[in-house]
Chains A and B, each alone.
Chain A
Amino acid sequence: ILNVEQSPQSLHVQEGDSTNFTCSFPSSNFYALHWYRWETAKSPEALFVMTLNGDEKKKGRISATLNTKEGYSYLYIKGSQPEDSATYLCALSGSARQLTFGSGTQLTVLP
């Protein structure tokens, strides 16, 4: 059974601030870790898929790292903008192919 915890539950930052949040998991028995961004009234959007310890991915101002030995992944947003406001979901996929999600971090970027 895969367990996924995300923190913080919600976060308010000022425009221009950089921020990060955490996805933690007690077991490294999974195939991949996924990050999704979910804006209100839209579909969850896939950001990154990471599989190996030490993986780092970047997409514009957003980046993510994976540490399977210590059981966490960080998502970083540099110079937050109001359009970054969304819920960021972390999920693990294993041999069963299903995604096991955390509860998400709700980010609000204040102008």
Chain B
Amino acid sequence: DAGVTQSPTHLIKTRGQQVTLRCSPKSGHDTVSWYQQALGQGPQFIFQYYEEEERQRGNFPDRFSGHQFPNYSSELNVNALLLGDSALYLCASSIDRIGTDTQYFGPGTRLTVL
């Protein structure tokens, strides 16, 4: 089992550009969540996808959007990049179950916005 994989590992963009990050969940998992980790902080929830729909959303602007595919993989898109979007973006997968389900994380994509 390859676990949760993310691509790319690192990415450098300039302000105003758009970026797409990708995530493949752990085998057997149907739910994908995305988190942003800024320096010195814990991961912050962006949104969660289940059955190809956004089910929950954190306090992030509409510039952040996503998609889940029939094979449960997911993409995170960020439009009109700002310097403050520089962060580590983590993807986590889980099995749909309220509350106690463990989320398994990928290694993250480091996004730098210049």
Residues on A facing B (Cβ under 8 Å): 4, 6, 30-32, 34, 36, 41-46, 49, 51, 89, 91, 93-104
> Could you count the A-B residue pairs with CB atoms below 8 Å apart for me: how many are there?
70
Is there an interface contact between B43 and A95, defined as CB atoms closer than 8 Å?
no
Ordered nearest first, which 9 A-B pairs have the shortest CB separation?
A: A31-B99, A101-B42, A98-B45, A32-B100, A44-B105, A43-B105, A43-B107, A103-B42, A46-B102
Task: Write out, one digit per residue, whether chain B residues 17-46 have a CB within 8 A of any chain A CB (1) or not (0).
Answer: 000000000000001010100001111110
Chain A hits for B56, CB < 8 A = 96-98
Chain A hits for B4, CB < 8 A = 43
- Considering only CB atoms and an 8 Å cut-off, how many residues of chain B contact the other chain? 28
The dominant DSSP class at the B interface is loop
The dominant DSSP class at the A interface is loop
Question: Which of A36, A41, A94, A97 is the one whose CB lies under 8 Å from B48?
Answer: A97
Q: How far is the CA of A110 from the CA of B80 in the complex (A)?
A: 44
Is there an interface contact between A99 and B100, defined as CB atoms closer than 8 Å?
no
- Interface residue? B66 (CB, 8 A): no
Q: How far is the CA of A42 from the CA of B42 in the complex (A)?
A: 15
Chain A hits for B106, CB < 8 A = 43
Chain B hits for A51, CB < 8 A = 99-100
